[in-house]
Structures are given as structure tokens and as C-alpha cells.
Structure 1
């Protein structure tokens, strides 16, 4: 049987068992899920996301130092190339039903999910969780594409996230309202940046479960399942 498709955009720590587990969980709700290596310009998965203890602060600091230049290449121009390719790859899967699709993204992946919704009107659902730099003064800021979006949105922000402060949240909310799209945004109290990721020191089980519940409801309300 065919099922609606969902793109899962990873965080900066890359494709790894945690992302696979998240994709499997979303798939268990009745969807076909594709999680691309969005850092492909910098290498294959084994090169850009080697196994690491993401609960160790020193290790995390080293990983960030290595990957942030890679993340910096993922601007609007890159998204304009990548999103159509990711959508086409998802739709090419034999289990993927035609029609509307969803996207969900984490950390840097929330930026890409936001850009994707503005680039492809077939995206009917967009989730973004502990995203950073979603709405900045930069002319290339992801929120600037929301005027073209047709999706319903759910954003779950980390608490006291330097990359998504109150001003940025207000800017994002204003762009969503101006676009006239259905949306909910919230700060998850006490949740740190990265709260969904069970293999990191930032993991917050309660916040992660809330994210799954809100994402499942978003997909259920927007994507038709057979």
C-alpha cells in the first residue's frame, strides 16, 4: 500500500541511529519517511557524521567545530537546488503516495524544512523543532520564503535558545501570520537546544514526547492516508 511521504531533515550531528529511530517512529504512524544526508556537499555519511559520544561536552565541541563550516554552506541557494531533489527522491519511492507531503526538521534541519515549505506548494505540513536562525535580519533568512508557503506549521522552540531568541520568535510569528497559514509556535519550558535527540546531553524526554505528539497531530490533520 502507498502512504503519504515525509522528509526528515537531520540536525548538524548528521545521519545516525538516532535519526533512523526518529524516522522509524514517524513511519509507524503510517508514512513513508526519507531522511537525506543534507551535508552531502561535504562528504558521505561516514565522513561527515562519524560515530561520536554526543553526551560528552568536549566531543560535542569538537564535532561542532568540524561541522559548522559545512552547515554554513546550506543557504537559500543550496536549498533551491536540494529541496526539489529531495522531494523527487521521496516521490520516487514505490511506497510513496501521490499528493501532499510533509517535512520535519531539527536544529539546522528546521531551517531547511522552513525553506522547503516556501519552495514547494505540495508540502502541506511543516514541523520545526529546536531550530536556530529561522528568522534573522539576513536577506536570505528562511522566514522570508513563508509568503509562498501553503503548509500548516508547528514550531517547538528550545527554552532560552540563543539561536532563536524572543525577537526571532516574534519575527517568525509575524511572517507566519502575514502568510495566512495555519500555525502554532511554542517555547518548550526548560527544554534545551537539541531536546528531541536521545543520544545527546540535551535530551529532554518530556519535551521530545510533546514534539512527537504535536508532529503526529500535524501530519494526521494535513496528509490524507489511505
Structure 2
């Protein structure tokens, strides 16, 4: 990667990691939601990777500097439990306002993407902040459509009617946290609401398959989903 990112201030004490493509001109934009482990080196690289792919990209630090190792699941989940949807959405608007103030970023062409905990937030933001996004992608977002959420959060299927932008959903067939019956509930809700979506499941892949720093990394699934997601974003945001 040739692009290097930087820490920026988003307002009200919120920081984010930002990277922009090289060269002049306005670029379509991306907001990234982190996993439950914080804004770590993987997400810095991912922010830069999206910039290399042609997007002005901001990853808000929803954990305010806290980062957990991938084998420290208890503390990561304890932090996740303290997260509040309304606060996250308000902080998302801070990230969007930051993009709107950047001369090189096209704030009218923004996509949202998230992974794990962030996959749920990407799904939520695509409904709650529908007018702000033109495309969305959710990677193994836990808590979107379970019968009962393990962390007591509201499931999100009743929000699909508010969505305007098309959405991609990516899952691993062997994910122990998000099983096929949940895929079915999500697809049914989106179809009944008449929304544009794709739901893809990779055989043999499990939770966290996209992250190269996790034991669950699946190189083939990560490569295919990256290629499809960036093409999808370019199609709906413009190059």
C-alpha cells in the first residue's frame, strides 16, 4: 500500500483514523465500523487499503483508544456490552461531518461497512442514517436478526423498512455465532420490505474470516469478498 493514514479529531473527544487516495479531485467516501476488539493495526491497514482502492476513508475510534488482543475475548465482549446504539449513531454523524468538511471527500457519495460488532452497526446505520449512505456492507454482523440477542440488544429486522441503499451481507458457513436460521430471517425481512441486497455464505469459513490477524482468517473468502465489495461500492458511489 502506498497510502498512509493519520489520526484525526472528529469532535467532542472522538478520534478517527483517516486515509485518502493520492492525487487531486473529490473521491467517494467510506465509513468503517470496527470489530469488538477496537481500532487496531488491522483496521488501520484496512482504512489505508480502502484509500488505495480510491475511497476517502474514515474509521471512528468507537472504543476511545481501547484495544484488545484477539485472544482476549472476555474483555472485548465486556466492552461491547457497554456500547449504546444511539451513541454510536451520533458518533457516526461526527465521522460523516468530518468527511463533509474535507475538500477531497465527496460527502454525497458515502458507503458504510462494518465487521463483527461493526457489521451490526453498518446494518443499523444503513437504516437509521439512510439518507447519508449510498451503499452498505455488513461482514458477519452479530445481533442483526437473532431470536434473542446474547447481549440484550434490540434486533434490527424491524428497521429494514427505513433502508434506502443496497446492502451486501457476508457470512461464513461455519460461524458458531450466526447460524443459517438467522441468515434466513434477515433475507426474509429484506425481501419482504422490497430491499436490494445480496447475502453470501462462504463454505468452510467461520467468524472473522476477513481479518488476516485472526486465526479464523480465510484468504480465499477474504479476497473474493474484498473484490466484490470494492466493485459494489464503486458501482453505487462512482469512481
What TM-score do the two structures reach when normalised by structure 1?
Answer: 0.86
User: Which runs of at least 4 in structure 1 moved beyond 4 Å after TM superposition?
Assistant: none
CA distance in 2 between partners of 1:88 and 1:181 (Å): 27
Q: 1:129 to 1:72 in 2, by over 3 A?
A: same
Cα RMSD of the aligned pairs, angstroms, is 1.7
Is residue 132 of structure 1 aligned with residue 156 of structure 2? no
Q: Tell me, yes or no, if the aligned pair for 2:165 and 2:196 is still in contact at 8 Å.
A: yes
In structure 2, the residue matched to 1:17 is 41
Which 10-residue stretch deviates more, 122-131 or 81-90?
A: 81-90
Q: Tell me, yes or no, if the aligned pair for 1:83 and 1:119 is still in contact at 8 Å.
A: no
Query: If each structure's helix is expressed as a fraction of its own residues, which one has the higher value?
Result: 1
What TM-score do the two structures reach when normalised by structure 2?
Answer: 0.82
Query: If each structure's strand is expressed as a fraction of its own residues, which one has the higher value?
Result: 2
Unaligned 5+ runs, structure 1: 55-59
CA distance in 1 between partners of 2:101 and 2:36 (Å): 26
In structure 1, the residue matched to 2:112 is 103
CA distance in 2 between partners of 1:99 and 1:82 (Å): 18
In structure 1, the residue matched to 2:173 is 159
Unaligned 5+ runs, structure 2: 1-24
Match 2:222 to one of 188, 200, 208: 208
How far does the alpha carbon of each residue in 1:49-86 deviate from its partner, in whole angstroms, 9 at most, with x for none?
15x4x4xxxxx1xx211121211133433334233222
Deviation of 1:98 (Å): 3.2
Q: Tell me, yes or no, if the aligned pair for 1:132 and 1:163 is still in contact at 8 Å.
A: yes
How far does the alpha carbon of each residue in 1:72-121 deviate from its partner, in whole angstroms, 9 at most, with x for none?
13343333423322222232333211313101111101001011100122
Higher RCO, 1 or 2 (CA under 8 Å, sep at least 6)? 1
Corresponding pairs, count: 210
